[in-house]
């Protein structure tokens, strides 16, 4: 197998790997700015320079020349090479800054040039703390500045579009954003204008940077030149905890991080998953973070009364209603809820002799783009269908509900009124039990019992995306009350997990009084006298992964952070 | 550039400029379209032809406001942003309206040494226009330019991205401006390249006789 020697150590390789990516894959750090694995390689930041040599060959015979010790004679390139654009060949010898003074000096000098016109506003810059330029300037850069002249002043806080702000002074012209719009999102809305010290990226006159994937350029920007209109100056990076999760805006289930401070979700950024969303996240997925924080319920309510209602009294009322209506209750699952929650609803319906009619579909034809946005605006339609819960035919069921066929309705984490399943008037004579997320839920005025449900940021659970990939989430923020299962799954880096009321980040006012549906329904089942209900989502999925062939292998261990691909449903039917 | 060093401020281009041309004016004739498609055919992708097409558009419309860049982008099937980026990179593409004669006076090293700034100041005074601006009559734009690659015949200037005027003196400027104002062709001055000297009997300057105002030895030092 061909091999290369990097810093004196031999590495074997296959095919024609790029040197920079090869080094990164093998844990050899090389500073770089413009290189991004999914885009073309312009090699314009000049930061990843390395010294490359190859065995010298005799011109006449083509034999590799050897010295007295029998070692091949290495001929080095006359100048340093950019490792991002260099394709490794057999026998090459590569020196990084660790073994070559020349490379070290070159990288230091490149950084000095990059920093000449870079403003020294790290203390107020959103990128500070996770800024490649800042990190690499510390690691590889010069100690001080020798530049005694006026720095070039370029336009600041330019609103490129509705969601992205440009600070041109901070830009180092790596062209990642321009290449993103040219090669990945293909909107072609950005370009670098002017030249020399005057250049910076911007949209042409009359064009707004409003494409549905525009905020990805904020993530790939290696400096703080592109920032989010929404998140600008909201929090320092080290004050937040990031928790791996998935987005629930559509059926793609793109992987993301939820960034939490003071128990509030402040932003959502993409998490690499080559099988789902690679490095990217559509803007619609990022801008939904406010619904985790705002309009959240104060607690459970019975007969519209929240103040005097405890969880216990509301559970008792639900059990009474279930016992009273029994079979005549309409159970509605939810494509917003997890697989575990929906499965528990199936158990509940079975316990009282009823049936889950289906889930309310939220399909917006034409919204999808074949990439990371889908027509289906719910995260778990596929999970419901795999459980045997079909999408409801809205006009049909609307007619049935309004004809007064049902006395009661049990709705899991959805909004029947807003989604057009029924009108508020038709619910007047019905006993409605609702698991809900936000106080903006339009069905709330008609509820007999309203139970606040934990959202994706607060719960543990499994979602199945449109291509049948089962992915699990862990809680990113704390809810009121003690739930050992949730606490155990909380990320270890969470400041507020280890905090006490005396710590400045501790803020109990942002704890939402809600419970995951997989906690609520087993309590109801127990009160109804059902035994052997699996406790906790992990056990539920373990049970499902064995009992239901549509979830074969979807245990928490198998799903990990990247998810697991389930076999397609058609095959299940055929098998 | 000197002004920029003293006051290094890069301004934001007008994000929403008023269009200069109506949509009726904004089109290429079929002849022009043929020329453009001939250029496109020379390259693997159509962005190879963007500079040719911009040049054609500048000759046709006089300058390249955003709506003309948009027209070029549509014609070539390229992103408007890309065409805009190319047009702003080159100073030879005029992004705003210029005078009928654009005088690029070189003030880079060799020209500066031999009086480039004097020439620039003389032009400013004669045409009553500040560098970087267009004269009130709308005929002349005077600009500072970086090295135009004619150090051997400094000080020099370029007229309308085309002919060079070499070995400038105030008198020579007067003649040039006279010719421009009366619409005569500019006086042609041929400059020899060093590699041709042997064929010309060591005479470095073919127009040696024509120069009266300031004399340099017509003979190269090698023969002395």
Strands A447-452 and A301-302: antiparallel
**CB contact (8 A) between residue A191 and residue B8:** no
pLDDT class of A573 with cuts at 50, 70, 90: very low
Whole-Å CA distances, A183 to A39, A41, A411:
7, 12, 44
CATH of domain A3-111: 3.10.20.740
The yes-or-no verdict on residue B14 having pLDDT over 60 is: yes
Buried b (16+ CB within 10 A) or exposed e, A137-163: beebbeeeeeeeeebbebbeebebbeb
All residues of chain B having their beta carbon less than 8 Å from the beta carbon of residue A155 are 10-12
Rounded mean pLDDT of A375-402?
Answer: 94
Contact (CB<8Å) A193/B88: yes
Between the alpha carbon of residue A401 and those of residues A429, A431, A436, the distances in Å are 11, 12, 20
By the 8 A CB rule, do B142 and B133 touch? yes
Residue A197: list chain B partners with CB under 8 A. 8
Two tokens, residue A242 = 């990031």
DSSP character at residue B135: -
Q: Cβ(A242)–Cβ(A257) under 8 Å?
A: yes
Nearest C-alpha in A relative to B79: A188
CATH architecture of A301-574: 3-Layer(aba) Sandwich (3.40)
B120 and B79 within one domain:
no
| Set of chain B residues whose Cβ sits within 8 Å of the Cβ of A198 | 4, 10
| Partners of A391 in the β-ladder | A359
Please tell me which residue, A437 or B186, carries the higher pLDDT value: A437
Residues of A whose CB is below 8 A from B18: none
In this predicted structure, what is the pLDDT of residue B205?
Answer: 53
Nearest to B85 among A158, A193, A197 (CB): A193
Query: Which of B66, B73, B79 to mutate against chain A (most A CBs within 10 Å)?
Result: B79
Among all residues of chain A, which has the CA nearest to that of B69? A204
Distance CA A194, CA A441 (A): 51
**pLDDT tens digits, A206-239:** 999 999 999 999 999 999 999 999 999 999 888 8
Mean pLDDT of chain A: 91
Using an 8 Å CB-CB cutoff, list chain B residues near A150: 7-8
Which residues neighbour A329 within 8 Å (Cβ) at sequence distance 6 or greater? A321, A322, A349, A352, A354, A406, A407, A408, A409, A410
Percent of chain A with pLDDT over 90: 79
Distance from CA of A196 to the nearest CA of B (A): 9
Least confident range of A11-15, A280-284, A487-491, A570-574: A570-574
pLDDT at A487 over 60: yes
- Give the model's pLDDT for residue A479: 87
| A530 Cβ neighbours under 8 A, 6+ residues apart | A347, A351
Nearest beta carbon to residue B82 from set A188, A195, A202: A188
A206 chain-B contacts, CB cut-off 8 A:
15-17, 66
d(CA B13, CA B10): 9
* Alpha helices (H) in chain B, listed in sequence order: 2-6, 30-41, 50-61, 66-76, 80-89, 109-113, 116-127, 170-182
Which letter does DSSP use for residue A574 in this model?
Answer: H
Q: Reply yes or no on whether the pLDDT at A301 is more than 70.
A: yes
Domain containing residue B166: 101-210
Q: Is B217 left (phi over 0), alpha (psi -120 to 50) or beta?
A: beta
Mean pLDDT within A417-429: 92
Please give the backbone phi and psi of residue A139, each rounded to the nearest 5 degrees, phi first: -80, -40
A74 Cβ neighbours under 8 A, 6+ residues apart: A53, A54, A55, A56, A93
State the smallest CA–CA distance between residue B95 and chain A in angstroms. Answer: 11
Report the CATH number that the domain containing residue B127 is assigned in CATH. 3.40.30.10
The whole-number pLDDT of residue A239 equals: 81
Residue of A190, A204, A208, A209 best to disrupt the B interface, most CBs of B under 10 A: A204
Nearest to B10 among A149, A194, A206 (CB): A194
Identify any residues that bridge with A245 across adjacent strands, giving them in sequence order: A256
**Nearest chain B alpha carbon to A209:** B81
Is B69–A195 a contact, with Cβ atoms under 8 angstroms apart? no
A interface with B, Cβ–Cβ below 8 Å: 149-155, 158, 168, 178, 181-182, 188-195, 197-198, 200, 202-207
Same domain, B71 and B149: no
Interface contact flag, A168 B16, Cβ < 8 Å? no
Q: What is the pLDDT of residue A141?
A: 93
Helix or strand holding residue A116 (H, E): helix A101-116
Asked whether residue B143 is domain-assigned, the answer is: yes
Q: Contact, A490 vs A478, CB < 8 A?
A: yes
Distance from CA of B178 to the nearest CA of A (A): 35
Instruction: Report the CATH number that the domain containing residue B36 is assigned in CATH.
Output: 1.10.10
Contact A153 B82 (CB under 8 A): no
For residue B192, what pLDDT band results from cuts at 50, 70 and 90?
A: low
Contact A334, A362 (CB under 8 A): no
Residues of B with CB under 8 A from a CB of A: 4-5, 7-17, 66, 69, 78-85, 88-89
Q: At A182, is the secondary structure helix, strand, or coil?
A: helix
Residues facing residue A244 across a β-bridge: A257
The answer as to whether B162 is a domain residue is yes
| Cα–Cα distance for residue pair A371/A149, rounded to 1 Å | 48
A27 and A44 in contact (C-beta within 8 Å)? no
Residue A339 contacts residue A544 (beta carbons within 8 Å): yes
CB contact under 8 A, A152 and B66: no
In a domain, B68, yes or no: yes
ipTM: 0.87
Q: Are B93 and B69 in contact (CB under 8 A)?
A: no
Nearest chain B residue (CA) to A117: B8
Higher pLDDT, A208 or B202: A208
My answer on whether B55 and B112 are in the same domain is: no
* b/e code B63-77 from CB counts within 10 Å (16+ = b): ebbbbbbbbbbebbe
Average pLDDT over residues A330-343: 96
DSSP string, A469-530: EEEEE--SS-BSS--HHHHHHS-TT-HHHH--TTSTT--GGG-B--B-HHHHHHHHHHHTT-
A151–B88 C-beta distance less than 8 A:
no
Q: What pLDDT is attached to residue B186?
A: 82
Nearest of A160, A195, A186, A206 to residue B70 by alpha carbon: A206
Cross-chain CB nearest to B81 (options A188, A194, A198): A188
Q: Which of B8, B12, B79 sits opposite A150 (nearest CB)?
A: B8
Among residues B89, B115, B138, the one where a domain terminates is B89
Residue of A nearest to B95 (CA): A194
Same domain, B200 and B110: yes
- From A158, which residue of chain B is nearest by alpha-carbon distance? B12
Higher pLDDT, A275 or B200: A275
Q: Are residues B130 and B105 in the same domain?
A: yes
pLDDT, one tens digit per residue, over A398-411 is 999 999 889 999 99
Average pLDDT, chain B: 85
B133 and B204 both lie in a single domain: yes
Q: How far is A204 from chain B (nearest CA, A)?
A: 5
Task: Indicate if B134 and B83 belong to the same structural domain.
Answer: no
Residue in chain B nearest A154 by alpha carbon: B10
- Asked if A205 lies within 8 A of B15 by C-beta distance, the reply is yes
For residue B220, the model assigns a pLDDT of: 44
Which percentage of chain A shows pLDDT scores above 70? 96
pLDDT digits (tens, 9 = 90+) for A88-101: 999 999 999 999 99
> B38: which residues sit within 8 A by CB, 6+ positions away?
none
Together in a domain, B122 and B200: yes
User: A150 and B14 in contact by Cβ < 8 A?
Assistant: no
Give the range among A3-12, A477-486, B91-100 with minimum mean pLDDT.
A477-486
Number of Cβ pairs < 8 A linking chain A and chain B? 70
CB atoms within 10 A of CB A169: 20
Chain A: give the shortest CA distance to residue B20, in Å: 13
Task: Say yes or no for a CB contact (<8 Å) between A155 and B12.
Answer: yes
Chain B residues in contact with A182 by the CB 8 A cut-off are 79, 82
Q: Specify the higher pLDDT residue, B223 or B11.
A: B11
Tell me if A192 and B85 make a contact (CB, 8 A cut-off). yes
Contacts of B81 in chain A (CB under 8 A): 178, 181, 188-191, 203-204, 207
Structure tokens at B47: 């962005």
B220 inside domain:
no
Q: Per-residue pLDDT for A513 more than 60?
A: yes
- Partner-chain contact B80 A192, CB within 8 Å: no
- Sheet harboring B157-159: ordered strands across? B133-134, B140-145, B101-106, B157-159, B164-165
Instruction: Tell me how far apart the alpha carbons of residues A541 and A556 are, in angstroms, rounded to a whole number.
Output: 7
Chain B neighbors of A195, CB-CB under 8 A: 88-89
User: Final residue of a domain: which of B67, B89, B111?
Assistant: B89
Categorise residue B160: left if φ over 0, alpha if ψ from -120 to 50, beta otherwise: left
User: What is the least distance, in Å, from the CA of A164 to any CA of chain B?
Assistant: 15
Residue B142 lies in a domain: yes
Confidence at residue B5, expressed as pLDDT on a 0 to 100 scale: 80
Contact partners, residue A207, CB within 8 Å, separation at least 6: A189, B80, B81
Domain boundary among B61, B89, B117: B89
Q: From the list A152, A178, A188, which residue is nearest B10 (CB)?
A: A152
Flag whether pLDDT at A47 surpasses 70.
yes
CA A413 to CA A374: how far, in whole Å? 21
Domain spans, chain A? 3-111, 117-228, 301-574
Q: Which single residue is written with the structure tokens 């609803």?
A: A345
Q: What is the CATH number of domain A117-228?
A: 3.30.70.20
Please name which of B97, B76, B90 lies closest in space to residue B28, comparing C-alpha atoms: B76
Distance (Å, whole) CA A447 – CA A300: 11
Q: What is the pLDDT of residues A101-113, one digit of tens each?
A: 999 999 999 999 9
A421 contact partners, CB below 8 Å, separation of at least 6: A332, A360, A392, A394, A397, A398, A401
Distances in whole angstroms, Cα of residue A561 to Cα of each of A272, A372, A527, A567, B193 = 10, 19, 35, 19, 70
User: B131 with B62, same domain?
Assistant: no
- B206 found inside a domain: yes
With cut-offs at 50, 70 and 90, classify the pLDDT of residue A574: very low
Interface mutation target, options B10, B20, B78, B86, chain A, most CBs of A under 10 Å? B10
pLDDT band at A187 (very low <50, low <70, confident <90, very high): very high
């Amino acid at each position: 197998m061909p091999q290369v020697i990097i810093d004196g150590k031999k590495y074997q390789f296959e095919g024609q790997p790029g040197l920079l990516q090869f080094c990164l894959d093998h844990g050899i750090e090389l500073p770089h700015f413009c290189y991004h694995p999914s885009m073309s390689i312009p090699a314009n930041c000049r930061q990843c320079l390395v010294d490359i040599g190859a065995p010298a060959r005799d011109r006449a015979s083509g034999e590799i020349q050897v010295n007295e010790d029998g070692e091949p004679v290495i001929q080095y390139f006359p100048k340093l090479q950019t490792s991002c654009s260099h394709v490794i060949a057999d026998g090459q010898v590569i020196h990084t800054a660790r073994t070559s003074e020349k490379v070290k000096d070159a990288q230091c000098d490149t950084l000095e040039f990059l920093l000449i016109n870079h403003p020294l506003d790290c203390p107020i810059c959103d990128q500070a703390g996770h800024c490649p330029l800042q990190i690499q300037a510390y690691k590889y850069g010069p100690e001080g500045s020798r530049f005694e002249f006026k720095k070039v002043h370029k336009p600041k806080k330019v609103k490129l579009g509705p969601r992205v702000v440009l600070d041109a002074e901070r830009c180092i012209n790596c062209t990642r954003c321009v290449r993103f719009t040219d090669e990945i999102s293909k909107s072609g809305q950005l370009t670098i204008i002017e030249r020399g010290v005057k250049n910076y990226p911007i949209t042409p006159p009359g064009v707004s940077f409003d494409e549905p994937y525009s905020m990805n350029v904020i993530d790939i920007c290696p400096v703080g030149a592109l920032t989010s209109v929404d998140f600008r100056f909201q929090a320092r990076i080290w004050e937040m905890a990031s928790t791996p999760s998935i987005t629930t805006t559509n059926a793609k289930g793109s992987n993301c991080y939820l960034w939490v401070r003071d128990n509030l979700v402040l932003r959502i950024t993409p998490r690499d998953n080559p099988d789902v969303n690679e490095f990217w996240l559509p803007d619609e997925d990022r801008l939904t973070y406010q619904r985790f924080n705002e309009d959240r319920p104060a607690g459970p309510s019975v007969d519209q009364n929240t103040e005097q209602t405890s969880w216990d009294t509301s559970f008792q009322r639900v059990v009474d209603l279930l016992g009273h209506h029994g079979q005549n209750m309409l159970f509605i699952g939810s494509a917003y809820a997890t697989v575990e929650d929906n499965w528990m609803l199936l158990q509940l319906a079975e316990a009282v002799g009823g049936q889950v009619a289906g889930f309310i579909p939220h399909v917006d034809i034409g919204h999808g783009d074949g990439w990371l946005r889908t027509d289906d605006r719910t995260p778990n339609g596929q999970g419901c269908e795999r459980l045997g819960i079909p999408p409801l035919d809205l006009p049909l069921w609307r007619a049935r509900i309004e004809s007064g066929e049902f006395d009661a309705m049990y709705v899991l984490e959805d909004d029947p009124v807003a989604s057009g399943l029924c009108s508020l008037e038709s619910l007047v004579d019905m006993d409605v039990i609702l698991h809900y997320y936000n106080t903006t839920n339009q069905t709330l005025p008609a509820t007999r019992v309203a139970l606040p449900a934990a959202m994706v940021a607060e719960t543990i659970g499994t979602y199945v995306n449109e291509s049948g990939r089962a992915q699990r989430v862990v809680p990113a923020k704390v809810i009121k009350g003690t739930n050992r299962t949730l606490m155990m799954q909380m990320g270890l880096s969470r400041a507020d997990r280890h905090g006490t009321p005396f710590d400045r980040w501790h803020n109990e006012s942002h704890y939402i009084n809600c419970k995951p549906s997989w906690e609520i329904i087993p309590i109801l089942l127990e009160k109804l006298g059902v035994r052997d209900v699996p406790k906790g989502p992990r056990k539920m999925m373990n049970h499902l992964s064995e009992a239901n062939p549509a979830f074969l292998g979807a245990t928490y261990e198998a799903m990990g952070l990247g998810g697991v691909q389930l076999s397609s449903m058609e095959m299940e039917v055929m098998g | 550039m000197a002004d920029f060093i003293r006051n290094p401020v890069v301004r934001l281009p007008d994000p929403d400029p008023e269009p200069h041309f109506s949509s009726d004016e904004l089109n290429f004739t079929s002849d022009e379209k043929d020329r453009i498609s001939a250029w496109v055919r020379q390259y693997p992708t159509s962005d190879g032809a963007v500079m040719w097409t911009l040049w054609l558009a500048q000759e046709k419309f006089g300058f390249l406001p955003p709506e003309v860049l948009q027209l070029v982008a549509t014609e070539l099937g390229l992103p408007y942003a890309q065409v805009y980026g190319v047009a702003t990179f080159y100073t030879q593409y005029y992004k705003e309206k210029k005078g009928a004669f654009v005088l690029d006076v070189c003030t880079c090293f060799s020209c500066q040494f031999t009086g480039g700034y004097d020439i620039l100041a003389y032009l400013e005074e004669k045409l009553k226009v500040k560098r970087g601006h267009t004269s009130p009559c709308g005929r002349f734009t005077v600009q500072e330019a970086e090295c135009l690659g004619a150090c051997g015949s400094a000080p020099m200037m370029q007229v309308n991205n085309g002919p060079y005027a070499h070995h400038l003196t105030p008198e020579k400027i007067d003649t040039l401006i006279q010719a421009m104002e009366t619409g005569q062709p500019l006086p042609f001055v041929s400059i020899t390249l060093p590699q041709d000297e042997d064929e010309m009997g060591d005479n470095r300057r073919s127009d040696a006789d024509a120069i009266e105002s300031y004399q340099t030895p017509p003979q190269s030092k090698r023969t002395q």
